[in-house]
């Protein structure tokens, strides 16, 4: 494939935090899986989410292979679920399922997309702390393989729906109970999901006065309802986790709960889900969690805990999302206004405005998340300058990249790419200021194709039904 006489052969891989298919050619322009970013911009416009399909598939295979190998070595099996909340399109669902993964969904919309992609209901899970009756009925109708209940109220509500929907002789709904282990791991407080003061799951902490914990109470209640079939116990300790030690602590606590239920009722659950949250590299120099390392440590922690408890090993399940799709994606922008601003300490920061912003990546504004960006359409010999990449929204907090070194001659019309935006860019996007959302474009083997089309002003107006 050529453009202006420049071949895509050779070149220099950009390395982390970019996908493996991102290469800078001798002309300074970047190719993604053999596709020149200038061609992507000309064909699909900017901003655009760009997914390296081969890279995404390879990461899915790596997690499946690592956990299957590690679990086999300790004598158990594993199911790997892709956490669809990171990014779910029909194509992405097909890709991960083709690589041997199942799919976790967190809403009726995600469930609908996975089903439309052809993922069998038995290979789907449904999460949510406040599922609607319609969502639960859809899960029952489509044979979802596991419904992760998140409260005592939901246990009874789901059982009652099963009875009303299927009758007294109907098949029980397959259920996991989500528990909070008290392990706080990962990045920002609002994405750490196992400490006590948050909305998810049922606590392992005993009730004052000696009562059963909410988690054990929920398990006992599931066992007592014939409309429900208890598959196992689910936990999730956080997100963007780079230290795997928290998983071992969480595993010990979940397995102790499993043993307590066995002692009390004779019921030994078959499966334990330790969630996901495996961290990736967002900036040059950062080191992501290695699939082989985390698989070995988790499998061994489970084996050790079961040995200490005198319990047989459960089947494991895990839920990587960001770790699979995050590094496979980048967001491509066109530079507009470039404005040098003198700071109080005398330095100059160059504000580089792009044609998107917080509507296509809310994480920097919401969490203070940090990303890396580069000019990808040309080479430059200009000395780098301190820059901040900002969007076009009417918000001073509309920051895409807080701090990065860009060429001093960065100018309007340059293409700028932000790395590792495959997770939570599109899935958390909005129409703030009535900007239309970018397309999702897949690249593979020198070709590009649209997975999700760009929104248009007509799409916005079609939803505004109160025109008169």
Q: Which residue has the tokens 């939803």?
A: 463
Q: How far is CA 93 from CA 123, 338, 419, in A?
A: 11, 39, 22
The pair of three-digit structure tokens given for residue 241, joined into one six-digit string = 């986790």
From CA 331, how far away is CA 361, in angstroms rounded? Answer: 9
| CA-based nearest residue to 84, from 57, 106, 101 | 106
From CA 342, how far away is CA 143, in angstroms rounded? Answer: 60
Q: How far is CA 104 from CA 52, 82, 138, 175, 329, in A?
A: 21, 6, 15, 14, 20
Residues contacting residue 249 through CB under 8 Å, at least 6 positions apart? 181, 183
Give the 3-state secondary structure of residue 68.
Answer: helix
From CA 334, how far away is CA 357, in angstroms rounded? Answer: 11
From CA 32, how far away is CA 380, in angstroms rounded? Answer: 20
Catalytic-residue membership of 306: no
**Kind and range of the H or E run holding 30:** strand 30-32
For residues 295 and 69, the answer to whether their CB atoms sit within 8 Å is yes
From CA 231, how far away is CA 250, in angstroms rounded? Answer: 18
Beta strands in 363-460 (DSSP E): 373-375, 384-390, 399-407, 415-419, 440-444, 447-452
Q: Which backbone phi and psi does 88 adopt, to 5 degrees?
A: -135, 115
Q: Write down the catalytic residue from 394, 457, 465, 466.
A: 394
From CA 102, how far away is CA 78, in angstroms rounded? Answer: 11
For residues 238 and 188, the answer to whether their CB atoms sit within 8 Å is no
From CA 234, how far away is CA 177, in angstroms rounded? Answer: 6
The CA-to-CA distance between both ends of the chain, in Å, stands at 52
Half-sphere exposure for 34 (CA within 13 Å, toward CB): 11
For residues 247 and 184, the answer to whether their CB atoms sit within 8 Å is no
From CA 177, how far away is CA 257, in angstroms rounded? Answer: 11
**Kind and range of the H or E run holding 175:** strand 173-180
Catalytic residues: 394
């Amino acid at each position: 494939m050529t453009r202006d006489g420049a071949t895509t052969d050779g070149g220099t891989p950009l390395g982390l935090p970019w996908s493996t298919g991102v290469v800078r050619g001798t002309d300074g322009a970047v190719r993604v899986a053999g596709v020149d970013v200038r061609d992507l911009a000309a064909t699909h416009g900017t901003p655009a989410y760009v997914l390296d399909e081969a890279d995404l598939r390879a990461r899915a295979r790596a997690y499946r292979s690592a956990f299957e190998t590690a679990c086999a070595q300790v004598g158990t099996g594993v199911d790997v679920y892709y956490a669809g909340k990171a990014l779910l399109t029909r194509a992405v669902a097909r890709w991960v399922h083709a690589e041997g993964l199942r799919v976790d969904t967190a809403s009726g919309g995600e469930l609908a997309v996975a089903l439309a992609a052809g993922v069998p209901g038995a290979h789907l899970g449904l999460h949510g702390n406040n599922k609607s009756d319609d969502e639960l009925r859809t899960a029952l109708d489509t044979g979802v393989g596991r419904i992760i209940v998140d409260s005592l109220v939901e246990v009874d509500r789901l059982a009652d729906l099963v009875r009303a929907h299927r009758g007294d002789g109907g098949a029980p709904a397959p259920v996991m109970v989500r528990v909070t282990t008290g392990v706080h791991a990962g990045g920002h407080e609002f994405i750490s999901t196992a400490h006590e003061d948050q909305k998810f799951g049922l606590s392992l902490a005993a009730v004052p006065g000696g009562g059963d914990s909410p988690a054990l109470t929920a398990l006992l209640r599931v066992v007592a309802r014939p409309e429900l079939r208890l598959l196992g116990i689910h936990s999730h300790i956080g997100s963007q986790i780079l230290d795997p030690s928290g998983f071992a602590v969480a595993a010990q606590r979940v397995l102790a709960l499993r043993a307590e239920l066995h002692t009390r009722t004779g019921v030994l659950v078959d499966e334990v889900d330790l969630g996901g949250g495996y961290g990736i590299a967002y900036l040059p120099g950062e080191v992501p969690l290695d699939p082989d390392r985390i698989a070995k440590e988790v499998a061994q922690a489970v084996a050790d805990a079961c040995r200490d408890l005198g319990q047989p090993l459960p089947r494991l399940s895990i839920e990587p999302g960001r770790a699979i799709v995050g590094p496979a994606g980048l967001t491509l922008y066109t530079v507009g206004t470039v404005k040098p601003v003198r700071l109080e300490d005398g330095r100059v920061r160059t504000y580089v405005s792009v044609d998107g912003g917080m509507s296509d990546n809310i994480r920097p504004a919401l969490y203070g998340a940090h990303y890396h960006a580069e000019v990808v359409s040309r080479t430059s010999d200009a000395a780098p300058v301190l820059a901040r990449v900002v969007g076009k929204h009417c918000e001073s907090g509309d920051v895409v990249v807080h701090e990065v070194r860009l060429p001093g001659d960065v100018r309007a019309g340059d293409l700028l790419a932000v790395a590792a935006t495959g997770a939570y860019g599109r899935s958390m996007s909005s129409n703030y200021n009535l900007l239309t959302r970018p397309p999702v474009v897949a690249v593979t083997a020198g070709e590009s194709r649209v997975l999700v089309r760009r929104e248009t002003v007509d799409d916005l107006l079609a939803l505004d039904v109160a025109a008169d």
